[in-house]
Chain A
């Protein structure tokens, strides 16, 4: 089925470093969402983007909705241990199903 291309698949960084991950698609999406999933839990919404070109921040997290509506990125500044987890991008074309990326697994060395 339809899928988003998310990269990188995994990241190993030092505490305090900045992180950047992105998603691209061949299709246009009206909404881009970024989720974080901890082990044994469901995905938790981090940031929602509704307009092309929109740049939104949530604490140390910043995400942008690409102007072409076919891509998005997520940045995390000054990483801390609790940022460890799997980050997923997701796109929506309406009040319907979300299409997910394969996830970026973030590991932080203290």
Chain B
């Protein structure tokens, strides 16, 4: 597709359940990023992929959060044993991954609500 796509667009889950969020980056973009945006706040970095490897996982808030990327394309963010404080919009972005071409393009996000 022309842009970054994410699914599902909305997810409501019960506390303690696991959730998987998916991101399809722009074709040809080697770098992929996950961010979290709480209500009324700016974006908080979670993890960055270059190809299939994740050189920077520093933003993952706890070991309940994990992410993987396969084939240098699609990425999945998994949250295990969800808590109410995990409720937020999870945004994915991609970029060419080249020095001087750091511009990141964002998807529409997945709105997660943990009850």
Contact = CB atoms under 8 A, between A and B. Distances in A.
Contacts of A92: 102
Given A97-B33, A98-B33, A103 B59 contact: no
Interface string B63-101: 000000000000000000000000000010101011111
A102 interface: yes
Contact of A50 (B91, B100, B105, B108): B100
A79 interface: no
Nearest to A31: B102
Interface string A75-95: 000000000000010101011
B45 A42 contact: no
Interface residues of B, number: 30
Nearest to A98: B104
Interface residues of A, number: 28
A42 B107 contact: yes
Contacts of A35: 106
Given A42-B4, A102-B41, A95 B95 contact: yes
Nearest to A6: B42
B81 to A, nearest CB: 23
A47 B2 CA distance: 19
A97 B107 contact: no
Interface in A5-28: 6
Contact of B31 (A43, A88, A95, A101): A95
Nearest to A4: B42
